[in-house]
Structure 1
Amino acid sequence: MKRWIALAFLLTLLIFVIITAFNDQKEEKAEENTPVNASPEREGMIAPNAPDGLEVGEKAPDFTLETLSGETIHLSDFRGKKVFLNYWATWCPPCREEMPEMQRFQEAYKDEVVILAVNGTGTEKKEEDVKQFVEEEGYTFPILMDKDLEINHSYQILTIPTTYFIGTDGVIQAEKVIGPMTYQIMEEKKDALN
């Protein structure tokens, strides 16, 4: 009798191992067939009624926001310059990932491109978290505080980080980037603007 129980146990265990291996194989094949550049937007994981955000060729909506230091800035102040409008938050790991690259880019191209890093302040636990993060990391590009999530709404930002690329004419001239940017992407976007 003990032999039959042991045999039944081993058979059950064998079936479990086979089913698990089969499921793992299916998952690996699914991952192999997923495009490298797949994103929730491209794969239909965002609500079908969700706005697409602003498009290339549209005039970038003007705004007025305060910097961390309390200075008032208007987007229109930068007309005649290339602008990277980056939307981020301190609690966002991909945002933190791209910030050092943005700093390095800003140091190399500050005479050609203005980086405006708009913090989704309305989503932060405390405003002080933003100041502490920026000071600790030593970022020198302007940090704008979107306390009422005005930019989040007017630019229809669903995912962060999101970066818009505005030409010297105040028009969005290059496809926005959703997700963290690399230094190379920033250089390509800089060259795409006039």
Structure 2
Amino acid sequence: MSSRSSIVRTLSALVMGAALSLTLAACGGGAASGGGAETGGAEGDLVGKPAPEFTAEAVTGEGPKSVKEASGKVTIIDFWATYCGPCKKSFPKYQELVDQFGGDLSVIAVSVDEEDTDKAKLEEFVKATGVKFSIVWDKNKSAAKAYSPPKMPTAFIVDKTGTIRHMHAGYGEGEEEKIAEEIKALIGQ
């Protein structure tokens, strides 16, 4: 009996380890992942192409938001979820970028939380972060299907003409400095 319970404990530990690994991978893995710009391969297939259009309901109640509304500005389209630790760290940094670049930068943060998520949970997340940029809920996953973010968070940097120029899969401390350089270069174009 003790060898059977030893096997059960070992299997339980393996299953828990696998579940933890999958959770960390889906959520960007935290600072250890280092985030980073992706420009090629499956994760970067949209770089250099027009940003797919989508419309989603704003969490904060200002009505539907779309990519077209940001036309003429450099835009960060950020895919995130309330369960994602690195997402919570990236939001204040994106607000700092909005403050730094003013009217030249737009941020559309796209929640990929499940359809059965209580909207109040999303509203609490927004309130806790104190951000002022557009936050939408992709309930039907149409935006997520069009962009296929490889992990949470994933930020797509879109130029003033609507073309995706950079993609950052995951988020690590200090990543906003690279994003700021990219935004500055795109604003100058």
Structures share a fold, TM > 0.5?
Answer: yes
Task: Say which SS state the counterpart of residue 91 (structure 2) adopts.
Answer: helix
Gaps of 5+ in 2: 1-31
Q: What is the distance in 1 between the residues matched to 2:115 and 2:80? A: 10
Per the TM alignment, residue 150 of structure 1 is displaced from its structure 2 partner at its CA by 1.1
Partner in structure 2 of residue 189 of structure 1: 182
Higher relative contact order (CA 8 A, sep 6+): 2
Partner in structure 2 of residue 161 of structure 1: 153
Per the TM alignment, residue 37 of structure 1 is displaced from its structure 2 partner at its CA by 7.3
Moved more, 73-82 or 122-131: 122-131
Q: What number of residue pairs does the alignment pair up?
A: 149
Query: Percentage identity across aligned positions?
Result: 24
Say whether residues 1:84 and 2:76 are aligned partners. Answer: yes
Partner in structure 1 of residue 9 of structure 2: none
Per the TM alignment, residue 58 of structure 1 is displaced from its structure 2 partner at its CA by 0.6
Residue identity opposite 1:190 in structure 2: I
Partner in structure 1 of residue 143 of structure 2: 151
Partner in structure 2 of residue 20 of structure 1: none
Q: Quick one: which of 111, 114, 120 aligns to 2:112?
A: 120
Q: What is the distance in 2 between the residues matched to 1:192 and 1:37? A: 25
Partner in structure 2 of residue 64 of structure 1: 55
Quote the RMSD (CA, aligned, Å). Answer: 2.4
Residue identity opposite 2:100 in structure 1: A
Per the TM alignment, residue 86 of structure 1 is displaced from its structure 2 partner at its CA by 0.6
Partner in structure 2 of residue 22 of structure 1: none
Gaps of 5+ in 1: 1-35, 43-49
Residue identity opposite 1:159 in structure 2: K
Preserved contact between residue 34 and residue 171 of structure 2 (Cα < 8 Å): no
Larger Rg: 1 or 2? Answer: 1
CA deviations over 1:5-25 (Å, ceiling 9, x no partner): xxxxxxxxxxxxxxxxxxxxx
Preserved contact between residue 158 and residue 164 of structure 2 (Cα < 8 Å): yes
TM-score, length of structure 2 as denominator length: 0.70
Preserved contact between residue 71 and residue 161 of structure 2 (Cα < 8 Å): yes
Preserved contact between residue 58 and residue 171 of structure 1 (Cα < 8 Å): yes
Q: What is the distance in 2 between the residues matched to 1:63 and 1:51? A: 21
Task: Say which SS state the counterpart of residue 131 (structure 1) adopts.
Answer: helix
Say whether residues 1:95 and 2:79 are aligned partners. Answer: no
